[in-house]
Structure 1
Amino acid sequence: MMESANAEHCSANRVTLRRLLCSAVAAMLFTSQPLHAEPMLEHIATPFRVATAAGDVTYFVAHEHSAQPRTALVVMHGHPRDAAKTLQAAISAAQAAGAGGKTLLVAPLFQVPEKLAARCHSAGLPQPQDGDALWRCGSWIEGDLDNSGKTGSFNAMDNLLADLKRRWPSLQSITVAGFSAGAQFVQHYVGFAHPPNAVRLRYVVADPGSWLYFDNLRPQPANGGSCGSETTCRFRWQTLNAGQCPRASQWKYGLEALPAHLQRTADAARQRYAAADITYLAAAEDTGTAPGAYYRILDKSCAAQLQGPYRLQRALAYADYDRRYLAPDKPHRLTIVPGCGHNVACVFPAPAARRALFPINAD
């Protein structure tokens, strides 16, 4: 009798274990798949092409918009050229802010040759066409010339903004926002932009991996180690040791060795940056080595490490630098976005970020 009961008990245990194992395997398979497939750009937006000296640059406009929009939001993709994901994040943010259909939502796409695309490719991207301007995977980020050496990516953005104003003359304000590598592009672009006439230009810089400094000062946490908020972070500012890290003061980290094709002096770029309308966004959980911070793809060069160990601390330091040295009379605001790591789909639609992206409609 006891043996029979034990046998039944063991059999029941085996069934339970089998079920648990199957459930665990199913969960692993499920969580290994994206919860939301990245949309095809053509499914959510209409393509437009704008001419540059090197060929055409394509940008995508979300389908739902006013015939006579007064505002536009241009969102720059990151290093993997995730234009579809970035535009979808902007669409979600606009809908939550009550700006859906009112604001023109625009996503540029910097194309690279097909043989390089595997290194910086995202789902839903169209292939480059004959006549397209082409860059390398990361060259567009810092305003570099295209592969034929005819035009810089900042010039291409100038042309794109002018094309928006030409196609939609009702536009009065354009916000240029970027996340991650797209934020690096935007932050570097500010001092070198040539916006179209009769348009107010705003900028949103969200979670860049590194920052453009306008002098040789770099931060040291006054309280030691890492810090995670404006209230707990205090910085001392020290002048770079030229021999410690030669690239730390060179473009893209500083203004030494400034590319000639940008056609603006360092002093002029600094003045334009200080006077610009800029908001900084930093995800509260974009710190440390947790998976959500994507530490493995963070710039860990000595030039970047001198700006701080993680994206959040680098942003906090730069906001302090801005207040002290760049624009002390009218510092650019830093907004911490709670509950988000390094993910544009979380950051842009968040209430704190919506107020920066859609200042008129967010509340």
Structure 2
Amino acid sequence: MRHWLCLLFALPALAQASQWLAVEPQPGQGQLHYYASQPANTQARSALIVLHGFHHDARRTFDVGTGLSPNGLVIAPLFQSRGSKCQAEDEPVPQAVELQWSCGGWAQGDPALNAPSVTSFQAMDALIAEVHRQWPSVNTITVAGFSAGAQLVQHYIGFAAPQPGLRFVVADPGSWLYFNSARPYPVGDCPALEQWKYGTRQLPSWLAHDGQAAAKQYAAAEVHYLAGTLDTGSGKGTAYKVLDRSCAAMAQGPFRLERAQAYAQAQGAPLIEAPGCGHDVACVFNAPAARAVLVP
């Protein structure tokens, strides 16, 4: 279940070392690597797991996390992809021993391309369990995702394996998983409207729960929602080129901010809006109200 690689790196912007570790969700099926801000068995009481976006910039996301919690335990997994256009240049290139997904498949729970029995949801289950094993003093884990990472987190919540002390933060995903047929921006004929990954119809066979059970688990979870006030429109700083503009996504809203506002309203939950922030994890996560839910 566990495989450890302990390589130390110096963070360029933060005078702090990180560790490059790995976990095997299933023995012999491949590894998920992650950055960690502390060695095992330190007396951390809580952990912050931060998930990168579409460009797989796990190190940058990790740096943002350690900036929020410089003395805390911060974990940042890297979901490796075979697609060169969705791989950050400064990240380690995928290795044969690593689990690898398609550019967007990891963000919706898909099985790894080179290990069909291991989904990205199962990789998350294994990572969270590994945090509890290697840092047994941890009693609270906040799982926070931005952009595509937020899409993974938001979809994962209803299907996550039961583990103690979990909290979730969802920031600026491109689309959302709805548990009913209501949508804030009706569209015409759209067969995918309620299908996975936008809804709970035609769920993949590899998911652990049906839609009703997932909705119940989601409703019972502690979930916080974040969005940048400038993450709207198609201008500079909105990452509009990678925004999902399918009919099922457009039924949720024209842009990420509007989609987040509509989803939070449908859930009867507050949306923390980061003032002056576009589609930028550093800006959104560092907003004072956002910091309060990321590092409570």
Instruction: Tell me the TM-score normalized by structure 2.
Output: 0.90
Shift of 1:350: 1.8
Q: Which residue of 1 aligns with 2:290?
A: 353
Partners in 1 of 2:181 and 2:293 — Cα distance?
Answer: 29
Shift of 1:274: 0.6
Shift of 1:64: 8.6
Q: Which residue of 2 aligns with 1:320?
A: 265
Summarize deviations over 1:46-102 as a string: whole Å, max 9, x none.
0111112331111110259982101000001111101011111112222xxxxx21x
Runs of 4 or more off by more than 6 Å in structure 1? none
Listed as ranges, the gaps of 5+ residues in structure 2 are 1-10
Q: Which residue of 2 aligns with 1:85?
A: 60
Q: Which of residues 144, 150, 168 in structure 1 aligns to 2:117? A: 150
Q: Which of residues 2, 17, 20 in structure 2 aligns to 1:47? A: 20
Summarize deviations over 1:16-51 as a string: whole Å, max 9, x none.
xxxxxxxxxxxxxxxxxxxxxx9599x852011111
Contact 1:40 1:124 in 2 (8 A): no
- Secondary structure at 1:340 match in 2: coil
Q: Which residue of 2 aligns with 1:206?
A: 171
Superposition pairs of residues 220-259 of structure 1, within 5 angstroms: 220=185, 244-259=189-204
Q: Quick one: which amino acid aligns to residue 219 of structure 1? A: P
- Secondary structure at 1:218 match in 2: coil
Summarize deviations over 1:338-359 as a string: whole Å, max 9, x none.
1111000111122121011011
Summarize deviations over 1:143-199 as a string: whole Å, max 9, x none.
001113111100010001101100010010000000000000000000000143xx3
Structure with more helix by fraction = 1
* Residues 1:274 and 2:240 aligned together: no
Partners in 2 of 1:50 and 1:321 — Cα distance?
Answer: 36
Superposition pairs of residues 1-363 of structure 1, within 5 angstroms: 44-53=17-26, 54-63=29-38, 67-94=42-69, 100-101=70-71, 103-113=72-82, 116=83, 118-147=84-113, 148-196=115-163, 199-220=164-185, 244-323=189-268, 332-359=269-296
Structure 1 residues 104 and 304 mapped into 2: Cα distance closer, same or farther (>3 Å)? Answer: same
Q: What fraction of aligned residue pairs are identical, expressed as a percent? A: 48
Shift of 1:303: 0.8
Q: Quick one: which amino acid aligns to residue 242 of structure 2? A: I
Partners in 2 of 1:108 and 1:309 — Cα distance?
Answer: 30
Partners in 2 of 1:130 and 1:296 — Cα distance?
Answer: 30
Shift of 1:123: 3.1
Q: Quick one: which amino acid aligns to residue 22 of structure 2? A: R
Q: Which residue of 2 aligns with 1:228?
A: none
Listed as ranges, the gaps of 5+ residues in structure 1 are 1-37, 95-99, 221-237, 324-331
Contact 2:40 2:135 in 1 (8 A): no
Partners in 2 of 1:40 and 1:55 — Cα distance?
Answer: 31
Shift of 1:112: 2.2
Shift of 1:313: 0.6
Partners in 2 of 1:93 and 1:179 — Cα distance?
Answer: 15
Summarize deviations over 1:253-283 as a string: whole Å, max 9, x none.
1111111111211100000001100000010
Partners in 1 of 2:96 and 2:40 — Cα distance?
Answer: 29
Contact 1:40 1:125 in 2 (8 A): no
Corresponding pairs, count:
282
- Secondary structure at 2:111 match in 1: coil
